[in-house]
Amino acid sequence: MNLITPAEHPFAQFVRILGKGKRGARGLTREEAREAMGMLLDGKVEDTQLGAFLMLLRHKEESAEELAGFTEAIRSRLAAPGISVDLDWPSYAGKKRHLPWYLLAAKALAASGVRIFMHGGGAHTAGRLYSEQLLTALDIPCCRDWQSVATALDQQGLAYSYLGDWMPALQRMIDLRNTLGLRSPIHSLARIINPLGASCGLQSIFHPGYQAVHREASRLLGDPAIVIKGEGGEIEVNPDVTCHLYGTRDGKDWDEEWPALSAQRHVKPEQLDPTALSAFWRGEIEDAYGQLAVVATMAVALRGLGMPREQAFEQARQRWDARLRSNQSID
């Protein structure tokens, strides 16, 4: 008979902090969050602890301090080189109600000289259309290493990268979605990472109340950012509703409310036809909703780079019209 009391696992303290009952539980401090995420990324946690930690955190709802601490742990383990980027553009949600018009907004901005790093976590939920599924058709480079990212940005101004290629431990946590039955906070965390230190991070957070939390996390990290409630969870303005911009720059928060661009809601398409994106880009077909969504999304991105609203919209229209004269065509 073994009478020696087994030692507690070092990660158990973080599960206990989050799960110690209604009166005993609390959130993690920024330092605790940094240490906990470091252990997760370094593979020093049991699978049972990982699942418990993610679900307890989701149930509690993550704080800005926790998100900042998690991000600091991730960034300290990134081996990313110094690559100049204007916009960090996370794409993790996928679309199911409307086509991913944001991809055309990013292409048009890139064609006009804006350097955009887009990253995502793969097609993890059935019934949604993800960026990864359209990269080839839209001539957006899918880069598997940092050198390819740098080359794509120099040549086309736009590069897409798969999270699993540069932070596989985080990708594994995202992939647990179908095992746990719920999305974990990692889906939200991925939007804050800004791995290349872009001039502005764009973030889309669908659930009300989380936008301000994400902005605060970016402020704590010293990152300029704009957070919106994007259509379907992607960085895409829904022109049928008011769009609130939660911004932060130089340690100061700012807010703007952009009115709906359409007096009436557009009819949602019965099914999504991805081939329509290429045709729309080439000017072969028209789409009233798509036109407004693309221009407004471009305007939000330009607002993030410092342009006032009216100038951002005017520039967005000009740059969208100029796409047909660029060399960024889709064959």
User: Among 3-12, 135-144, 159-168, 284-293, where is mean pLDDT lowest?
Assistant: 3-12
* Structural domain includes residue 199: yes
- Statement to judge: residues 67 and 190 lie in one domain: no
Mention every residue, 6+ apart, whose C-beta is less than 8 A from residue 159.
116, 117, 118, 141, 143, 148, 149, 152, 153
* Structural domain includes residue 1: no
Token representation of residue 223: 């990152």
Mention every residue, 6+ apart, whose C-beta is less than 8 A from residue 47.
none
Q: How many domains does the chain have?
A: 2
pTM for the model stands at 0.93
% of the chain at pLDDT higher than 90: 78
Does the pLDDT value for residue 131 go beyond 70?
A: yes
Residue 328's pLDDT band (cuts 50, 70, 90): very low
Residue 234's pLDDT is 95
The mean predicted confidence, pLDDT, of the chain is 92
Query: Is 14 within 8 Å of 57 (Cβ atoms)?
Result: no
What integer is the mean pLDDT of 208-216? 92
User: Taking each helix axis from N to C terminus, what angle separates 288-304 and 102-111, rounded to the nearest 10 degrees?
Assistant: 50
Residue 267's pLDDT is 83
- Statement to judge: residues 40 and 62 lie in one domain: yes
Mention every residue, 6+ apart, whose C-beta is less than 8 A from residue 126.
none
What integer is the mean pLDDT of 163-174? 94
Residue 327's pLDDT is 46
- Statement to judge: residues 53 and 101 lie in one domain: no
- Statement to judge: residues 47 and 96 lie in one domain: no
- Statement to judge: residues 191 and 242 lie in one domain: yes
Token representation of residue 231: 């259509």
CATH number at residue 56: 1.20.970.10
- Statement to judge: residues 69 and 131 lie in one domain: no
What integer is the mean pLDDT of 261-288? 90
- Statement to judge: residues 309 and 165 lie in one domain: yes
CA distance 220 to 64: 8
What integer is the mean pLDDT of 44-71? 94
Residues 203-223 as b or e (16 or more Cβ within 10 Å = b): bbbeeeebbbbbbbbbbbbeb
Residue 1's pLDDT is 58
Domain stops at, among 77, 100, 127? 77
Domain stops at, among 52, 77, 102? 77
What integer is the mean pLDDT of 56-85? 95
- Statement to judge: residues 53 and 130 lie in one domain: no
User: Among 135-149, 156-170, 190-204, 257-271, where is mean pLDDT lowest?
Assistant: 257-271
- Statement to judge: residues 91 and 61 lie in one domain: no
106 or 22: which leads in pLDDT: 106
Residue 59 belongs to domain spanning: 13-77
* Structural domain includes residue 6: no
